[in-house]
Structure 1
Amino acid sequence: MTFEWHKEAEKQWDGRAEFWNTNSQTMWDEGSRKTIIPFLKKYVKEGGHIADLGCGDGYGSFKLEKEGYRVTGLDISVDMIQRAKSRVENENLQFTQGDLVNLPFEKESFDSIMAINCLEWVEVPYQGLEEMKRVLNPGGRLCIGILGPTAMPRKNSYRRVYGDKVICNTMMPWELEQMAIETGWKHIDGHGVYKRGVEEQDAAGFAKELQQSLTFMWVFIFEKE
């Protein structure tokens, strides 16, 4: 049987939908994602149309809509999108199922994009980044979070060392930054989300690469030039 990365990713995230739905509100309100939307708001003007790519059950999209954005959420999992639609849908908050490397949107459809921990589930991350560029307006900004070296989900990719087929990329934050710069994005800012035991102020004096090496997630702001 032929291994199809994105079909496997869809199946796995359908299988994780119940767990994600149980935990997503806590992650966004109190946990690892609580700093993301305040960080995004510093660089993305209220009122614009924002795509939330890899939206899961839609709680992050819901929070964006409450902050005054018009939001379209997208996820590869049909189950996730069904859960998102059942949470809330209105004229300013819509959801659709789709693949990050083949987005079902016209060119230059969005003023900004939020994409948290989804690019690492793409077989060729460059293709996902290019699709984001295609659907983003000129001068639009991308808030993107990438798993750091200490993130537990990286265990999903461990079996690659045996030659097994896996669906989690081990791309590092500094690799994403380099790829983005090489492909025409402007780096605006970034911040780290650290695991328990590491205080942000303790790492503040380190070089950026060392800060990133301690993170559960690094969140970037890039601008389409």
Structure 2
Amino acid sequence: MEGDEMTSARVDWDAEAASFDEEPDHGLRDPGVRAAWADRLLGWLPERACDVLDLGCGTGSLSLLAAEQGHRVTGVDLSAPMIERARAKLAGRDAVFLLGDAAAPPVGEQRFDTVLVRHVLWALPDPARVLRHWRSLLRPQGRLVLVEGVWGTVAPVGIPADRLTTLLAPLAAHTRLERLSDDPRLWGGPVEDERYAVVATV
């Protein structure tokens, strides 16, 4: 993101921070929703302990699940209040949280085994460029785990699964698509829009 666009996004997410975890799939406070996301992460992340970069981490709910599964987590978010909540949520865990833009995370030369991103790519102005950059943050045989979708009926927003898999084709040796819309446990109830995850191994 650039300039005014980044400032506007930061203001919006700062305002959302206090109530963000009230959404079932954000705070994962319901044991059933939490278990459903934990089960999915087990299938998406490597079995061995690894370094996970959680971009647009919000209040750290997925970061916490990854840490509980033995992974070392670095979270990045544009919103300072979100980062504060993530740090509190993962206090005492093997996790670091950085304030910054998910499209260009401030991680220097550090490389990761998995880049985990939920509901972020669709909002970025140049997804193809961002995906190339995220791929460059991976170690050999690393993986991108991208949870995305298309929301709304009057003026839908999002990124369709076929478009994302097309963008990933030149970057990944293998991609796996999982449809998530038909699993109400993930969302705290049934949903009618398109929700999915793509796991891409480089």
Structure 2 matches for 1:171-182, cutoff 5 A?
171-182=159-170
- Write the deviation string for residues 167-213 of structure 1: whole angstroms up to 9, x where unpaired: x963211111100113x21333121121689xxxxxxxxxxxxxxxx
- Write the deviation string for residues 106-154 of structure 1: whole angstroms up to 9, x where unpaired: 3451111211111112121123212211111111011111123xx24x8
Gap runs ≥5 in structure 2: 185-191
| Cα offset, 1:95, TM superposition | 0.9
Secondary structure of residue in 1 paired with 2:18: helix
Look up the equivalent residue of 1:170 and give its one-letter code: G
For the residues of structure 2 that align with 1:51 and 1:8, how far apart are their CA atoms?
A: 24
For the residues of structure 1 that align with 2:129 and 2:31, how far apart are their CA atoms?
A: 31
For the residues of structure 1 that align with 2:28 and 2:37, how far apart are their CA atoms?
A: 13
Correspondent of 1:75 among 77, 90, 95:
77
Name the TM-score, length of structure 1 as normaliser: 0.74
Name the TM-score, length of structure 2 as normaliser: 0.81
Structure 2 matches for 1:60-139, cutoff 5 A?
60-90=62-92, 92-107=94-109, 109-139=111-141
For the residues of structure 1 that align with 2:40 and 2:28, how far apart are their CA atoms?
A: 18
Match of 1:163 in 2: none
For the residues of structure 2 that align with 1:60 and 1:28, how far apart are their CA atoms?
A: 14
Contact 2:28/2:61 (<8 A) preserved:
no
For the residues of structure 1 that align with 2:32 and 2:78, how far apart are their CA atoms?
A: 25
Match of 2:28 in 1: 26
For the residues of structure 2 that align with 1:109 and 1:68, how far apart are their CA atoms?
A: 18
Secondary structure of residue in 1 paired with 2:158: coil
For the residues of structure 2 that align with 1:14 and 1:38, how far apart are their CA atoms?
A: 30
Gap runs ≥5 in structure 1: 159-167, 198-213
Distance 1:81-1:58 versus aligned 2 partners, 3 A rule: same
Larger Rg: 1
Match of 1:221 in 2: 199
Contact 2:180/2:196 (<8 A) preserved:
yes
- Write the deviation string for residues 18-50 of structure 1: whole angstroms up to 9, x where unpaired: 22123323378534x764442342351231111
Contact 2:149/2:195 (<8 A) preserved:
yes
Q: Does 1:194 find its partner at 2:172?
A: no
Percent identity at matched positions? 21
Distance 1:36-1:86 versus aligned 2 partners, 3 A rule: closer
Count of residue pairs brought into register by the alignment: 191
